[in-house]
Chains A and B, each alone.
Chain A
């Protein structure tokens, strides 16, 4: 079954990458409509998460947000499928950056940059442009199934200069080296993929949150840069960088990890409150969800 799923993906991808951007998006929106109607689990989970993130939103508003969410996510998928034939120089004018000075500040420190964000927007496009113009970029990413699909993701990103590392010890070692070489490492902390996160309040309710990025930043003195990437109505991309968070050690590593991760999490909550229609996590974050 997985083999056929992978073959299906490759066929769709090879069609999408040959289409003009507007056509690829039109197909993506069609697919989004289909999966929004018929997904048995993704939509209820997403709407549950959105309800917690936006407690004042009415059921109709949540429904509207979840549709927009599927739509934006499908377009991000189309971006990814188009990457093998995309030229980075042509994408550059589509990216609008706010808070570039924080990125420059972080670079000047010389201990790498830990870019911390959430599952929102077309990160590949931003990372590809940064990789071409700023410094090599590394992603922490979960290993997807089937394996050929994961390898396709990894190779597609690699040809744009983005290294993709698994969330294990070997991956951690390489990330440490990347930070030593003053490179960018991009990670998201709004979902605990490995099951090793620490429980802390996220939108006021306890949720397991990964503390690995903070632990690494504390150990290496790497500045943490909260960044939010989202799609604008004209399908260009907005990248917003926030003031750096410098993780300082007080002697109690556990408490420091918790304190700095919570500081980051408040910023992530702010991003999600401002753009709930782009925050795509159709997975269980909180206990009690579908």
Chain B
């Protein structure tokens, strides 16, 4: 089956969807389905990891969902894309976030989007919360839940750590874009609280974003010791940061559909402290692989961090449970499930399967 993966996001900038597309392309090719990628890119040569890449315009930055999305909105690209699609004769075109940027702008209610959606044959949601959100506006669209995948050969315990971070301190790791919805402010307050009880803790913040300045200023104003602002860390180094940590903390305040960072942390056998946002709860089993707290409750977050920081045996047990679970999210397993949806979509497109609403088209 020849597959075209389409992403609206800047392929040259790091991000969840971009990584997902890159890994899925590799996994599909690995199980015998040649795959090509379509995406905008701010650089002429984006790293597509060996997959054929078609650059569809240059992206622009637009603020959405307390974040900044780098997407392309040009209508002039239609001809270019059409000619490639006609030439390559794909069996399936797989659109990632096909309603972007409409979805975050809560335009989903607009009936103008309905004809567009009707041209899609099948849908995939990464979690139950994501499906619930979508189904609120399009209750009859056939959606299947397939979680994000994780490359367990890349994210695994036993990699070479960043050696100067491996000492007698308990390292708490945060990975994510530094923006409001990721909850870094709560984590900094929680860290300040826990430092009075666990003096050998260190906070490692991986990621960059608009809140970097205010985070640095908070750290300096409150004289928080042992905070490492690592900034943007390239993919080839990131797994080593996980393997340099003892606890992973994901304090998002909401709007997370899945939380790939949780899987990365669990694959590296790290115990997780996270907020109870629906996207995270679809992955976590509190008490088994994680401790969870209410969103925006930094006092609870601090207490959970203290519990784990003081108990190496609990960390080890939760880390092992997380690692075991992460194996279920391997890309080969995810790609096989995606191929099943492709088969259904192809059948629907040929009119072989009747959908009760959109006659599967």
Contact = CB atoms under 8 A, between A and B. Distances in A.
Contacts of A165: 163-164
A181 B229 contact: no
B165 to A, nearest CB: 7
A178 B161 CA distance: 10
B122 interface: no
Contacts of A136: 160, 240
A160 B235 CA distance: 10
B162 A158 contact: yes
Classify chain B's interface size. 10 to 19
A163 B233 contact: no
Contacts of A138: 163
A170 interface: yes
Interface in A139-172: 151, 154-156, 158-161, 163-165, 170
B167 A161 contact: no
Interface of A: 84, 87-89, 131-132, 136, 138, 151, 154-156, 158-161, 163-165, 170, 174, 177-178, 181, 183
A159 B206 CA distance: 9
B91 interface: no
A11 to B, nearest CB: 13
A165 B164 CA distance: 6
B231 to A, nearest CB: 6
Report which residue of B230, B237, B240 has the largest number of chain A beta carbons within 10 angstroms of its beta carbon: B237
B116 interface: no
Contacts of B236: 88, 131-132, 161
Contacts of B162: 158, 161, 163
A156 B234 CA distance: 12
Of listed A159, A163, A178, A183, residue having the most chain B CB within 10 A: A159
Contacts of B231: 84, 155-156, 159
A82 to B, nearest CB: 13
B164 A163 contact: yes
Contacts, number: 54
Contacts of B47: 89
A160 B240 contact: no
Contact of B163 (A151, A160, A178): A178
B137 interface: no
B164 A160 contact: no
B167 A170 contact: yes
B357 interface: no
A88 B164 contact: no
Contacts of B232: 84, 159
B228 interface: yes
B14 to A, nearest CB: 11
B234 A88 contact: yes
A219 B236 CA distance: 31
Given A159-B232, A161-B162, 17 more contacts: A84-B231, A84-B232, A88-B236, A131-B237, A132-B236, A154-B164, A155-B230, A158-B162, A158-B165, A158-B228, A160-B234, A163-B163, A165-B164, A170-B167, A174-B163, A178-B160, A181-B160
A150 B160 CA distance: 22
Contacts of B228: 151, 155, 158
B310 interface: no
A183 B159 CA distance: 12
Contact of B237 (A84, A89, A160): A160
A159 B232 CA distance: 7
B350 interface: no
B114 interface: no
B166 interface: yes
A161 B240 contact: yes
Nearest to B230: A159
Nearest to A163: B163
Contacts of A164: 164
Nearest to A177: B163
4 smallest CB-CB distances across A and B, nearest first, come from A163-B163, A161-B237, A136-B160, A174-B163
A136 B160 CA distance: 7
Contacts of A183: 160
11 contacts: A155-B231, A156-B231, A158-B164, A158-B165, A158-B230, A159-B234, A160-B234, A161-B237, A163-B162, A164-B164, A181-B160
A177 B167 CA distance: 13
Contacts of A156: 231
A164 B164 CA distance: 6
A88 B236 CA distance: 10
A181 B232 CA distance: 26
B263 to A, nearest CB: 22
Interface in B227-263: 228-234, 236-237, 240
A87 B233 CA distance: 10
Nearest to A178: B163
